[in-house]
Amino acid sequence: MGWILFFDGECGFCSSSVRRVFRLDRRGRISFAPLQGKLAASLGFSNHAAKDGGTMVLLREADGRIFTHSDSWIELGAALGGPWRICALFRLVPKPLRDWVYRTVAANRYRLPAGPLLCEVPDPALRNRLRD
């Protein structure tokens, strides 16, 4: 058991971020699922893919806790472990400010540079950690 990172599967920037997290997750504790997929729909997360400021969702499987907006990045640092745990320091920044920065990036994510969409990634190890 670990974490499931739900992301906007139609966003090149988001897919690029998933590939980056995959490479950083040396312990293989994080799996990935598109917000447009069946699993996200069954959990009620599909609305988080909205183009006008959508967000990723991080689900901690051990206790079912759900993290969104800036909290998802802080928890993602904990999931990655090692030096990424320093992300916890962002808890010192007031949540409204953290979430404003997050929402600003999320609202502009289709304009940000990105690689190919995740479905074009041929890496079988990443495909094994994708859920629908």
CB atoms within 10 A of CB 83: 9
- Residue 48, pLDDT score: 78
- Residue 125, pLDDT score: 77
Q: For the segment 50-98, what is each residue's pLDDT rounded down to a tens digit? A: 766 677 899 999 999 999 999 999 999 999 999 999 999 999 999 999 9
Confidence of residue 46 (pLDDT cuts 50, 70, 90): confident
- Residue 49, pLDDT score: 72
- Residue 38, pLDDT score: 93
Q: For the segment 5-40, what is each residue's pLDDT rounded down to a tens digit? A: 999 888 888 888 898 999 999 999 999 999 989 999
- Among residues 56, 73, 75, the alpha carbon closest in space to that of 65 is found at 75
Angle at 131 between CA 32 and CA 3, to 5 degrees: 45
Q: For the segment 90-131, what is each residue's pLDDT rounded down to a tens digit? A: 999 999 999 999 988 888 877 776 555 544 545 777 777 878
How distant, in Å, are the alpha carbons of 20, 47, 80 from that of 61? 21, 20, 15
Tell me the DSSP string of 69-130.
Answer: HHHHHHHHHHHH-GGGGGGGGGGGS-HHHHHHHHHHHHHTTTTS---S-GGG---HHHHHTB
- Residue 114, pLDDT score: 59
- Residue 120, pLDDT score: 55
Q: 1 or 26: which carries more pLDDT confidence? A: 26
Q: Element (H or E) spanning 33, and its range?
A: strand 30-34
| Beta bridge mates, 58 | 5, 67
- Among residues 69, 94, 99, 74, the alpha carbon closest in space to that of 84 is found at 74
Contacts of 131 (CB under 8 A, 6+ apart): 4, 31, 32, 33, 37, 39
Neighbour order of strands in the sheet with 57-60: 30-34, 3-7, 57-60, 65-68
